[in-house]
Amino acid sequence: MLQLHDVTKLYGSGAAQVRALDGVSLSVDAGSLVAVMGPSGSGKSTLLTIAGSLEEPTSGDVVVGGSPLASMSVDERARLRRRSIGFVFQDFNLLPGLTAAENVALPLELDGTRPRAARQMAIEALEGLGLDTEADRFPDQLSGGERQRVAIARAVVGDRRLLLADEPSGALDSANGEAVMRLVLAACRRGVAAVVVTHDAQLASWADRVVFIRDGRIVDGTVPPPSPEALLQAAPEP
């Protein structure tokens, strides 16, 4: 579903140049959950944004669902995000002014689905997450966990086949964090490929594969982790 081949990303120029990603290659199959771990500034989020077509790599190829991003225009990449990629962010996920159902329906409507049909699909997605009673509430009327679940519903609604989550449980307590990961895993079980960036080894243990990244390079890909605590011990020294 997602392939990155020798992807490099440079920011800035001259002495101020930063190598955020350095020859990263990664493949995520449909139905699998990959956790990306690493210290701050290691390039985890950059990996996610490049995989999700929010940024372009300086070099290397990114292929989503068999389509190379390099050959796509800005509008084509936007269409790809509407149809195939779902994002979940840490603390900023829902648009103010739109209800939970409208937030979930938004990518569908942006893609041309009629409002009534889009709302129906959104309600169904929310029902699947146990949030159907919250469909008409605004983001500021929802708890943090509810907001994140709505964000996941939005990320998987429609024909989305790639879910990219950047610290989805970062702003949640452990119970809500686990609930979120359970939802992500459930989506994977239905064939969605997911990449989750997390600092939390406990949550990473839910993944089929954990990728360690440091200074822009993948330093290890552990399959599968024996336990969350062991993951940190298994990480190699720089």
Partner 1 sequence: MTVPSGPVPVAARPNHGGAAARRAVRRWSWRLFRLEWRQQLLVLALVVVAVAATTVGATVAVGAQVPADTGFGTAHDMATLSGTPGHVAAEEAALRHRVGRVDMITNEQQRVPGSTDTYDLRAQDPGGPFGSPMLALRSGRFPAHPGEVALTPGLAAELHLHPGDTWHDGTATRRVVGLVVNPQNLVDAFALVVPGSVTTPTSVTVLFDAPLSVVGALTVPVSVVGRGVYANVLNPETIVLALATLGMLLIALVAVGGFTVLAQRRLRSLGLLASLGASRRHVAMVVRANGAAVGVAGAVGGFVLGLAAWLAARPMVENSAHHVIGVWALPWAVVVPAMALAVVATWAASARPARAVARVPVVDALAGRPAPPAPVHRTALPGLVTLVIAFFLFGASGAAAGQGGGMPEMVLGLVVLVAAIVLLAPLCLSVLGAVARRAPVGMRLALRDLARYRSRAGAALAAITLGVLIATIVAVAAAARYGNSLDYVGPNLATNQLVLSPAPVGVPAPDATKGGPGSPLGLPGPPPGPTPAQVRAEDAAMATSAHQLATQFGSGTTALELDGSSATLVHTGPGRTFTGTVYVATPQLLQAFGIAPSTIDPAADVLTSRPGLSGVSGLRLVAGEDSPIAGPGPIGAPPGSDGHPSCSPPSCLAHPVIQEVAALPTGTAAPNVVLTEHAVRILHLHPTAAAWLVQAPQPLTAAQVSAARLAAGAAGLQVETKNDEPTGATIIDGATIFGIVLALGVLAMAVGLLRSETAGDLRTLAATGASTRSRRVIVATTAGALAAVGAVVGTAAGYLAVAGWLRSNRLDGLSALTSVPLANLLVILVGLPVLAAAGGWLVAGRRPSGLARPVTA
Out of 44, 154, 209, 214, the only residue in the binding site for partner 1 (CB under 8 A) is 154
For residue 28, state whether it binds partner 1 (rule: CB under 8 A).
no
Q: Is 167 left (phi over 0), alpha (psi -120 to 50) or beta?
A: left
Residue 145 token pair: 């966990």
Residue 203 token pair: 């949550």
Beta carbon of residue 233, minimum distance to partner 1 (angstroms, whole number): 33
Distance, in Å, from the CA atom of 162 to the CA atom of 214, rounded to the nearest integer, reads 24
For residue 82, state whether it binds partner 1 (rule: CB under 8 A).
yes
| Contacts to partner 1 from residues 211-230, by CB under 8 A | none
Question: Which residue stretch of 25-33, 156-164, 169-177, 218-226 sits at the interface with partner 1 (rule: CB under 8 A)?
Answer: 156-164
Q: Which of 155, 138, 139 is nearest to 104 (CA)?
A: 155
Closer CB to partner 1, 147 or 209, in the complex = 147
Closer CB to partner 1, 5 or 83, in the complex = 83
Residue 147 token pair: 């907001």
In this structure, is the dihedral angle defined by the CA atoms of residues 104, 107, 111 and 115, taken in order, positive or negative? positive
Out of 44, 160, 209, 214, the only residue in the binding site for partner 1 (CB under 8 A) is 160
In this structure, is the dihedral angle defined by the CA atoms of residues 59, 62, 68 and 72, taken in order, positive or negative? negative
Closer CB to partner 1, 167 or 231, in the complex = 167
Beta carbon of residue 238, minimum distance to partner 1 (angstroms, whole number): 26
Beta strands in 81-223 (DSSP E): 85-88, 162-166, 193-197, 209-214, 217-222
For residue 174, state whether it binds partner 1 (rule: CB under 8 A).
no
Binding to partner 1 by CB under 8 A, coded x per residue (else -) over 86-125, reads: -x-x-xxxxxxxx---x--xxxxxxxxxxx-xx--x--xx
Return the half-sphere exposure (C-beta side, CA atoms, 13 A cut-off) of residue 107. Answer: 25
Return the half-sphere exposure (C-beta side, CA atoms, 13 A cut-off) of residue 209. Answer: 16
Binding to partner 1 by CB under 8 A, coded x per residue (else -) over 37-76, reads: ------------x--x-xx------------------xx-
For residue 183, state whether it binds partner 1 (rule: CB under 8 A).
yes
Beta carbon of residue 122, minimum distance to partner 1 (angstroms, whole number): 9
Cα separation values, 211 from 44, 80, 117, 181, 199, Å: 10, 25, 38, 17, 12
Distance, in Å, from the CA atom of 216 to the CA atom of 214, rounded to the nearest integer, reads 5
Indicate the DSSP class of residue 236. P
For residue 167, state whether it binds partner 1 (rule: CB under 8 A).
no
Binding site for partner 1 (CB under 8 A): 49, 52, 54-55, 74-75, 78-83, 85, 87, 89, 91-98, 102, 105-115, 117-118, 121, 124-125, 127-129, 139-140, 147, 153-154, 156-160, 183, 186-187, 190, 192
